[in-house]
Structure 1
């Protein structure tokens, strides 16, 4: 199975490295192209056998699965470039949330899937969000989910849920890391603990908490009840968090959805300008 990656930036490079480390893909079956060929050559240098090509057309022409790992506003240009070599039997996988399945299906003849990854896949963890177009066959879905299962837990969602699901699975690691950073910095300022020690403790706590909520079968409410004894220290802390976080998540969701909708509007204009029959 030949797999192409168009775009080897942050997430494209992460996916290539993760698939190779997991053994899901062999170097000889991967073809990559990138606007900056140096980045692609660096990946090939670490993984002899990975083929670097100088054009997106060459990457797309002979591949069964084509991962498009470019910025949302670059999609119309890339699709316009490769559409003439695409066939109905190929699978195009978009990894970006704002580009809609309908946009892609109207632009190219191939089967379309949208799989939104997470930085957590670099350690073979986290959820990958899977949305499938109308042309995807059951065997296509099985193939894609077997591939993603090697580095993540595939979760099928509705396209209307893409933004909020991405907030949690894809943006979430950055949000949680930001909270841990602030917590550790404040702890170091107010007490004798070292910032690095506080971050290390927090990282181990997050790892264990994730396991309790998955492997341990606990719900968030059950976990809180197990730790927060009424009238105890943890209960006092939760009361402070409850008060301080009342509007935080609604504001966060409003902000991410506003940016998402802005991107949708820009993409709609670009697709209409790029494809005459769109």
Structure 2
């Protein structure tokens, strides 16, 4: 098993670490981790004593085969300045952030790189992870990373030009649909006699069941709607409201995320001096 280094133990870094441990694809001894605030990484070591806690990012680089950069996009450039001269050609550097392309990363470190964009759904070994590889990334490295990704997700290799929309669906999607589910609950509570606790229980379990139906391939999204929506029935009346009132809502959503992404790209390009 390759030694996995994780620099940054915030939300996504922690999700990756705990997902791999829970899936038993990694043992604590396979991990070396660090964080800018070391006490945050210490919490993971206390929970999983075999994990090695490194005092610095350089120490992680010296010990890991795969190095995951789990920090914010605008923190990566300064981080690389401190570690890039310690990275060897046989190591794979992996970013988990969408505004930084593998080409930009590769140009900076002059070695094999990859991008691994996870989702919160990976925490239960479900959902998708998005992968991209640099030109110098060997087939063996690619297969090893895909194997690691497949233990907690459905790894999907994507082209650079669909990175943002893919990440919107995979990574942001759970938050978007969580918001819609909460609005659904509030609508039920405000217009009927149901209480919020009951409405929440019913909605959460409905969503779990919906996921099971899709996951087991019993229905697709369109066929599921057809099965529930009986012509002239109550569901059909609800669908009419959705058709009339959602309108271009999701068009606006993707426009908004892409506008913010363009801003992030501009800031990253200022740092790296290389186009996305």
Fold agreement, TM-score > 0.5: yes
- The CA deviation at 1:217 is 4.5
Q: Following the alignment from structure 1 to structure 2, what is the Cα–Cα distance between the partners of residues 268 and 161? A: 18
Aligned to 1:221: 222
Aligned to 1:65: 66
**CA RMSD, aligned part only?**
1.2
| 3-state SS, counterpart of residue 171 of structure 1 | helix
The answer to whether 1:139 aligns with 2:107 is no
Q: Following the alignment from structure 1 to structure 2, what is the Cα–Cα distance between the partners of residues 217 and 90? A: 42
Aligned to 2:264: 263
Moved more, 33-42 or 198-207: 198-207
- The CA deviation at 1:214 is 3.1
Quick check: 1:29–1:50 contact (8 Å CA) kept in 2? yes
Q: Following the alignment from structure 1 to structure 2, what is the Cα–Cα distance between the partners of residues 117 and 13? A: 11
The answer to whether 1:119 aligns with 2:94 is no
Q: Following the alignment from structure 2 to structure 1, what is the Cα–Cα distance between the partners of residues 153 and 259? A: 28
Quick check: 2:32–2:63 contact (8 Å CA) kept in 1? no
Q: Following the alignment from structure 1 to structure 2, what is the Cα–Cα distance between the partners of residues 270 and 156? A: 26
Quick check: 1:86–1:109 contact (8 Å CA) kept in 2? no
- Superposed CA offset, 1:138-177 (max 9, x none): 2212111111111111111111111101111100100111
How many residues in Structure 1 have an aligned counterpart in Structure 2? 273
The answer to whether 1:164 aligns with 2:165 is yes
- Superposed CA offset, 1:98-135 (max 9, x none): 11111101000331111110111111111111111111
- The CA deviation at 1:8 is 0.3
What residue ranges of structure 2 are gaps of 5+ in the alignment? none
Aligned to 2:252: 251
Q: TM-score, normalised by structure 1?
A: 0.95
Q: Following the alignment from structure 1 to structure 2, what is the Cα–Cα distance between the partners of residues 110 and 206? A: 43
- The CA deviation at 1:233 is 0.8
Aligned to 1:231: 232
Q: Following the alignment from structure 1 to structure 2, what is the Cα–Cα distance between the partners of residues 158 and 177? A: 28
Q: Following the alignment from structure 1 to structure 2, what is the Cα–Cα distance between the partners of residues 200 and 111? A: 47
Aligned to 2:57: 56
Q: Following the alignment from structure 1 to structure 2, what is the Cα–Cα distance between the partners of residues 128 and 217? A: 23
Q: Following the alignment from structure 1 to structure 2, what is the Cα–Cα distance between the partners of residues 217 and 110? A: 44
What residue ranges of structure 1 are gaps of 5+ in the alignment? none
Moved more, 35-44 or 197-206: 197-206
